[in-house]
Structure 1
Amino acid sequence: MTEIKRTPLHSLHVELGGKLVDFAGWEMPVQYPLGIMGEHAQCREKAALFDVSHMGQVILRGENVGEKLEAICPQAYATLKPGKARYGFFTNVDGGIMDDLIVSNAGDHYFVVVNAALRHQDIPHMRANLDGVEVIEIFDRALVAVQGPAAENVVGDLCPAARDMTFMETIVAPILGVDCRISRLGYTGEDGYEISIPEDKAIEVSKAFLAHEDCEAAGLGARDSLRLEAGLCLYGNDIDQSTSPIEASLGWAIQKRRKEEGGFPGADRIQKELAEGAAKKLVGIKPTGRAPARQGVEIQSADGNTIGQITSGGFGPTVGGPVAMGYVAAGHGEPGEQVNLIIRGKPQPAQIVALPFVTQNYKR
């Protein structure tokens, strides 16, 4: 048995009454006394603070780091300007997604955030493939996300420089006298920040955010319902080693030059799917009734043929009903198409809808 890990904010979660669960080998709060519905609404209407310290934080140092990343990612990192961040993913030789990540050009180095459950894969992968690049995993910093329409005030009151940032920008600036990496991005569909804080100051800074009248703590439960409403993929559910970025409707995350040039793992498949279409595609699905459709539920066409399956599903508090994402075969998936979801052996009517379910509110 491997020992479960705790983030630098663990004692704060206990103090706040967080319900702690094992998540990817980390003891993490799934919710607080406010409850998942309340925390979800808090983020949509005001601001919520999430502990995301379980994510892997990595520094890349060396010559031409951006160009070297392009050999293992389909994104254009060689032209990523200092102070900018970009969503991307590692692909495998078959064109599947190994993991999705955020890469930032920090000027004298690159800063990468990878998924908690895939640190053991991603860091050796970078070390093996980024020749001449020092790959340093950081263990002495927390990572918190402050998300929601009031996030600018919550963070900006303590760090005025954060107010001037726009979506996918990153800076280093002091909060309570300690230098933090502040990136304007997130995983909720709302405006907000992810902030890397030295671990010995993480609780002090987090408590200062929570002292703002518009900020409350939120857990993994609300994080999942928020990202689902925002149409954002979850690794292991909506994307995996077999799924291509084109199937996952992530073609937008591959810049034009990379689409044309290739030169990354799986480029042949990805370029072919860009030109000819993929065998399946990720779509939004809205069940007609009240029963949520969970991962693995079969999707049938109106005439009873199996055309795909649900990959993420649950109740959408902002939508006020169940929402889901899943893959359907080519030839299906236009918004408005009527489908049936086989829940507990019975067909339940649903409709394919455009993603996201809730408008994304990033500060462009």
Structure 2
Amino acid sequence: MSELNKTPLYDLHIELGGKMVPFAGFEMPVQYPMGVKKEHIHTREQAGLFDVSHMGQVKLTGSNAASELEKLVPVDIIDLPAGKQRYALFTNAHGGIMDDLMVTNYGDHLYVVVNAACKAQDIAHLRANLGNGVELEVLDDRALVALQGPEAATALSRICPEVNELVFMDSRHIAIDGVECFISRSGYTGEDGYEISIPEAEAERLCRLFLAQPEVEFIGLGARDSLRLESGLCLYGHDLDENTTPIEGSLIWAISQCRRANGERAGGFPGAEKIFDQIANKSFTRKRVGLIAQGKAPVREGAELVNAEGVRIGEVTSGSFGPTVGVPIAMGYVASEYAALGTEIYALVRGKLLPMVVSKTPFIEQRYYRG
């Protein structure tokens, strides 16, 4: 572990009893003394603080930054309003997903957050493909944390009342206790909450201030994973990869109308032809679906999915017990003819066939604050 990177909050994790594990090249807390299940429930009922400083933060400047970035993603960047954030996908020439990311328009620049495991690849991809005077700056001197849960706004607004003015996917530069932060009202849990980029030197001090609020506890990677799974949110490298298109990944909603085949700025992104063909002709053979186990045994990533005759029809890509819903849940890919809601299929676990039902996602009601 000596070769792993540490986030600016590493010492605080150790002080508070975080169990550290390798993750995407960093030492990250998988849980705290409270334990994964209690951390999950605490986030659903109050507010959890997550260290996500391993993610990549990038600033793009230049008058053509939006139009240049739009050439790499199937979403509308040019008309993204100032102060708003949008989910995006890097696609490759075959329509596969290279990574998913968040893009914010701060008026005079774009702020991009990419996944930790893809950070080096994504930055190289941007450097190689952004032209026309776009300047790329890697913000490696900032921490990134997420404050999530129904009490997140209550806790943060005690320190910084201005955050109450934000609604879901709003972003703003706001000073917290004298420190300028980049704050968006968004997150990865299905709950209301904020993602906060903080100058590295002030990260521990501000996080101690957050943790001093009675609603807030530090939460590790274990609960982060079960929270996002209940919320039907994909984990790149598991539920999405470079061989999976947005259509196969059930992410057609992430392709802006103006970028589709009949839109005013149609295409122009890698793999557009294949993606448009899959939309128009349903020429895909598999689909990401939600799954609920009919028994009590969790079904984990990698489990084979079969039909009633025992013929392989897919694979689980994420699976766990859902502490909020009280049953084992999963996401995975199945042959298209088995993707309809209510279809019963089976997971092969240690030689046993466990019945599962194709179900809608998210498995819980998302509670984003929309005003």
Aligned to 1:247: 248
Q: Which amino acid aligns with 1:33?
A: P
Corresponding residue for residue 24 of structure 1: 24
Residue 193 of structure 1 corresponds to 194
Any idea what SS the aligned residue of 1:233 has? Answer: coil
The residue type equivalent to 1:6 in the other structure is K
> 1:301 aligned to 300, 303, 307, which one?
307
Bigger Cα displacement from structure 2, 303-312 vs 186-195: 303-312
Distance 2:71 2:148 in 1: 33
In the alignment, the residues of structure 1 paired with residue 47 and residue 281 of structure 2 have an alpha-carbon distance, to the nearest angstrom, of 43
Matches within 5 A, 1:264-343: 264-277=269-282, 278-343=284-349
Show the counterpart of 1:161: 162
* Deviating more after overlay: 22-31 vs 296-305: 296-305
Shift of 1:294: 1.1
Matches within 5 A, 1:1-364: 3-131=3-131, 132-260=133-261, 261-277=266-282, 278-364=284-370
- The amino acid across from 1:355 in the alignment is T
Q: Deviations over 1:257-290 (max 9, x none)?
A: 1012111100011001111222111101111111
- Cα deviation for residue 154 of structure 1 reads 1.4
Aligned residue for 2:90, secondary structure, equals: strand
The answer on whether the counterparts of 1:64 and 1:78 sit within 8 Å (CA) in structure 2 is no
- CA separation in 2, counterparts of 1:109 and 1:87? 17
Deviation at 1:236? 0.5
Paired letter, 2:210:
F
Three-state SS of the structure 1 residue aligned to 2:291 is strand
Which whole-Å deviations, capped at 9, do the CAs of 1:17-47 have from their partners, x for residues lacking one? Answer: 0000110110000000011001100110110
Distance 2:120 2:180 in 1: 28
Q: Which runs of 5+ in 1 are unaligned?
A: none
- Runs of 4+ displaced beyond 3 Å: none
What is the CA distance between 1:302 and its match in structure 2?
Answer: 2.5
| Shift of residue 335, structure 1, vs aligned partner | 1.5
**How far off is 1:304 after superposition?**
2.7
Q: Is the 8 A contact 1:173 1:180 kept in 2?
A: yes
When the two structures are superposed, what TM-score results if normalisation uses the length of structure 1? 0.98
3-state SS of 2:121 partner: helix
Structure 2: distance between partners of 1:67 and 1:249? 26
Q: Distance in 2 between matches of 1:292 and 1:259?
A: 38
Deviation string 1:295-318 (CA, Å, 9 cap, x unpaired) is 111111223322111010011110
Structure 2 counterpart of 1:346, one-letter code: K
SS in 2 for 1:152: helix
The size of the alignment, in residue pairs, is 364
Whole-angstrom CA distance in 1 between matches of 2:351 and 2:242: 29
Letter in 1 for 2:272: A
Matches of 2:145 and 2:2, distance apart in 1? 25
Question: Residue type matched to 2:276 in 1?
Answer: Q
The alpha carbon displacement at 1:64 in A equals 1.8
CA contact (8 A) 1:147 1:190 kept: yes
CA distance in 2, matches of 1:176, 1:353: 45
Q: Which whole-Å CA distance do the structure 2 matches of 1:307 and 1:166 have between them?
A: 41
Q: What is the DSSP-based 3-state SS (H/G/I as helix, E as strand, rest coil) of the residue aligned with 1:265? A: coil
What letter corresponds to residue 168 of structure 1 in structure 2?
M
**How far is the alpha carbon of 1:2 from its aligned partner?**
8.2
| Letter paired with 1:192 | G
CA distance in 2, matches of 1:159, 1:182: 11
Q: Secondary structure at the match of 1:268?
A: helix
Work out the CA distance in 2 between the residues paired with 1:2 and 1:213.
35
Distance 2:57 2:156 in 1: 21
Q: Secondary structure at the match of 1:81?
A: coil
Provide the secondary structure at the position in 2 that maps to 1:12: helix
- Tell me the percent identity: 54
Flag structure 2 segments of 5+ consecutive residues without an equivalent: none
In the alignment, residue 81 of structure 1 is paired with which amino acid?
P
- For residues 259 and 312 of structure 1, the distance between their equivalents in structure 2, rounded to whole angstroms, comes to 29
Cα distance change, pair 121–233 in 1 and its aligned pair in 2 (3 A)? same
Q: TM-score, normalising length from structure 2?
A: 0.97
Aligned residue type for 1:216? E
Question: Is residue 167–residue 185 contact of structure 1 (8 Å, CA) maintained in 2?
Answer: yes
Q: Determine the C-alpha separation between the residues in 1 that align with 2:294 and 2:77.
A: 42
**TM-aligned CA deviation for residue 213 of structure 1:** 0.7
